Structure 1
Amino acid sequence: MTTPDKPAERPDLAAWRHRHELRKSSAAQPIPSGKTYERKPKHPQPQENRDNDE
């Protein structure tokens, strides 16, 4: 019986290494999520605080 020179890599580690190399490469492109930044309205202030010119 022959033994391999190096043991077989765990499948989860092999998949991680593949994804990691793809992310590092120039072929990596962001996937648009469809979510965009929307500014929320400011908190309303009471009238007396707004018009106070002191």
Structure 2
Amino acid sequence: MSSTQTSFFDSLVTAVRENPLAAALIGGGVFWLLAGDEKLKERDAIGDSGGFADR
């Protein structure tokens, strides 16, 4: 690893140690974004808007 990568990871680890709540919230948000809601994904795939376009 180069010096730049090492210093980045060292800074990241330091930031997580100093702000564990912020790191947990960011991690949870990333997980939520990547996991998503399967029902929403299925609706999007078939073009169903969930009834909002029917009004």
Shorter-chain TM band: 0.3 to 0.5
- More helix per residue: 2
TM-score of the pair, normalised by structure 1? 0.34
Structure number with bigger Rg: 1
